[in-house]
Amino acid sequence: MTQFAAIDPALAAVLMPVAVAAGLLRAWITHRTAVRMEEEHTRRICVAVQGSTPMHRAAVVKACAELEAASRTLPKQSRVRNL
């Protein structure tokens, strides 16, 4: 199989920056998704803890952590069907 540069240098000059930009965009979207998920997790914990007494906060945080862990172990298809 021949390389792009051997076929047409102009085509290679256009496709290479596009490929790099697509890779950067994908990395940025992955990063923003991880940040957003962590922010949502923190928000859910804060909401759950707000209504609890200081004595019960540790139990509430533990229960939230168990729910988060359980939701991550479900196959994606099961999560979609349960919605």
Structural domain span for residue 23: 8-82
Is residue 69 situated within a structural domain? Answer: yes
Reported pTM: 0.62
| Structure tokens given for 76 | 């994606």
Give whole-number Cα distances, 50 to 33, 62, 82, in Å.
26, 15, 28
- Using CA atoms, how far apart are residues 26 and 23, in angstroms rounded to an integer? 5
- Using CA atoms, how far apart are residues 48 and 78, in angstroms rounded to an integer? 25
Over the stretch 6-15, which tens digit does the pLDDT of each residue have? Answer: 677 888 888 8
Is residue 35 situated within a structural domain? Answer: yes
Over the stretch 22-75, which tens digit does the pLDDT of each residue have? Answer: 999 999 999 999 999 999 989 988 998 898 888 999 999 899 888 888 887 866
- Using CA atoms, how far apart are residues 43 and 33, in angstroms rounded to an integer? 15
Q: How many structural domains is the chain composed of? A: 1
